[in-house]
Each structure stands twice: as structure tokens, then as C-alpha cells.
Amino acid sequence: MKVLDPEQRPLHGLKVLDFSQFLSGPLCSLRLADLGATVTKVEREGTGDLCRNLYISDTDIGGANSLFHAINRNKQSLAVDLRKEQDKERLRELIPHVDVMIQNFRPGVIERLGFGYDEVKQLNPSIIYGSISGYGESGPWKDLPGQDLLAQARSGLLWLTGDRDHAPTPMGLAAADMMAGNALAQGILAALVRRGITGQGALVQTSLFEAMLDFQFEVLTTYLNDGHRLPQRSALNGAHAYLGAPYGVYRTSDGWLALAMIPSLERLCTLLGITSLERFYGDQQALMTQRDVIKAVLAERLLSATTEHWLSILQPADIWCSQVLDWAQMRDSEAYRILDMEQQIVRDAQMELHTLRSPIRIDGATLKSPVAAPALGQDNARVWPSR
């Protein structure tokens, strides 16, 4: 698949100063970098972004973990000491020449450092200032750690996920960080469009908590308009608290099969060779009120044959279903290969990384870039040539 030239990318020429650390803010700036922006990552002199040493596996690549490299590829690094007034002054001289600034410190920290929105907009009135917090800038939770699992827990997502009698179940990835980072990128892009029309700068804010609430807007809207009745999760093959049978994931003789919404329970049962659920045919309410009874019968039947056997029967009949793939199986699929999602990035002989590209395509081309995450401070001379 064709790769879009850097000069042709929509944000080519845009300059971003990124004070953020860990995952949410850096994900936002990664999205902007992939779209062509020049992102300069402001890091603490000597130690850098704490994410450099936040290992999520035992894989070390060029002195940092794979997460840091994946989330900070295609960026520059500026190592500064914000305890030194000289470094602060150099940053103040830089701010009038950038378009976007991003930060994700706890509320009050960036202001104490002298780079809150009020201070920055005095230096650059048209700047787009993006900010991510844990739980907003006020209220009783504002000073609590803005950490992904904790935000998932406080948002209700853990309680909503999993079977009824199981413990609250977190998602298997940093959903709050990723949702917040993408939400901030969307807000920044919208603010840039307005600035192009009016010349007006903007403060764009979100939080991990807001992103988690937005992630659940579909089911929360039902709750808010349904007499505040809490949904009852299925005790068996739970997948969505508000959807009836057969919606869920079922074990087969050699793997797992996901079943989504169906046009007719009778049709599904006929295809599966089940005759014991006839009393529920045509009763849409029963798909919810009796879903565990229905699911138990389906589960027993589906266990009797392979996943491929059931797919060969259900998919031609337009029953919404899928094999549950692990990463190796997913990567072996033609659907994955044709999208050309993977890319190789290289910094030096010690830093080579196999990772994914941006999910966005423009004019039929991908936004791949071979530029790796920077070594700490490697771009100081480029950004501050007189230092």
C-alpha cells in the first residue's frame, strides 16, 4: 500500500510542543505527528519521560521499553531542567513559534511550573493548548492519580464488564488513556480548523474520566432514560449487559465462537439443530428475560463441534458470528495483511522496532514513518541551536 509523503500530510508544517508523559498525552501527539506535525517532546533532563522506564514486558529496545518506543515514534526530544530559569526562558522564547502545546500533569502542576494556559496564551494568543487530567480540574477527585485502571474502576466500566457472578473485569489494555488521547486529538484538530477561520486560539481539555464516560455513552443513555435501573449482566457468556441471547462468546470443541445479534432465534436453532427452545420463538422479551436459559442450551450445542464447522453453517446463512482470534491467528489473516498495518522503525543499530502504523489513510495512502522514538535530548541542538 502506498505511503503518503511527509510533505503531503495534512499537518505538515504544524509545530507541537508536548510536555506530556506516559500514554494519554503522548498518544495525542503521536496522532498529530503521524498526520505530519513536527512534535517536540519536552522531557526532564537526565531521566526523561517516566514512561521510558515503565516496562510492561521484559523487552528492552535501545535502553527503553517497547511502549515508550511505540507511543513516541516520529517525535523530537528536548531535554530541559524546569528548575532552571534559563531553561524556562528558552521555552518561553520557543512558545510563540509553535501551534499546539500539550500537557497531562495533575491539575495545578503545570501552572506552578509557569506554563499554564493563562501564561502560555500571553506569549502566543493563537496557540491551541491541549490538556488531559485524571478527573477534571476541580472537585474532590481532581488530585487523585490519573491512572488508567483507576479511571476505569471509577467510571463503572469494570462493573459493567464480565459475567454477573464474576469479579469486576478490566479491559485488557489502557482504554482510558487511549480514549482520552484520541479525544484530545479530535478537539485540537477542531480548534485548529476554527483558528484557520478566525485566528482564535483555544484551551482544549478532557480527562480520563470523561473519556471513559463517553466510551459508555450508549449504555449510560439507556440507564438515564430507563428509570435509573442498573442493567443485569448475563450469568453466562456475558458480553453486553443490555443485549439478550445469544449475544456472547461460546466455547467450541477447538476454540471460541462469538455470536452477535440475530434476526430470529428460530432460524439460529434450526441451523444449529436445536429443538428445545421452541417456546421462546417469536418472543423478543424472552431473549433478555430468559437469556441465561437460552445461552446454556446454545453453549452445550456449540461445544459439540469445531469453530470452523459452525462458521461454515452460520456465515452463509448471514448469522453474525466470528471466530475469536488470538494475535497470531489475526496476523495470519488476509484481511490483516491487505491493510498493511505494520511498519519497521529504526534509530540506530541498537534501536529497531516492529510496530503498527496510524489507522488513518489519506487519498488511498497510509501514514507510515520510519522515524523512531528519540533518545533523551537528541534534538536539543536542533531546537535550541544557540545553547
Cite the active site residues: 177
Q: Which amino acid is at 307?
A: T
Paired residues of 371 in beta bridges: 346
Distances (CA, A) of 38 to 100, 192, 278: 10, 15, 62
Query: How far is 380 from 363, CA to CA, in rounded Å?
Result: 35
Residue 135, SS3?
coil
User: To 10 degrees, what angle do helices 265-272 and 291-302 make?
Assistant: 20
Q: Write the DSSP symbol of residue 6.
A: G
Grid cell locating 350: 541498537
DSSP string covering 46-84, please?
TT--GGGG--SSS-EETTEEHHHHHHHTT-EEEEE-TTS
The vertex-67 CA angle with 62 and 72, nearest 5°, equals 80
CA 129 to chain centre: 21
Residue 44, SS3?
strand
Other Cβ atoms closer than 10 A to 42: 24
CA 234 to chain centre: 27
How, if at all, do strands 38-44 and 76-80 pair?
A: parallel
Question: Helix-strand-coil percent breakdown of the chain, rounded to 5?
Answer: 40, 15, 45
Q: 59 near 366, Cβ under 8 Å?
A: no
Q: 29 near 17, Cβ under 8 Å?
A: no
Q: Taking Cα atoms as reference points, which of 377, 363, 358, 362 lies closest to residue 33?
A: 358
Query: How far is 348 from 64, CA to CA, in rounded Å?
Result: 13
The vertex-86 CA angle with 83 and 87, nearest 5°, equals 65
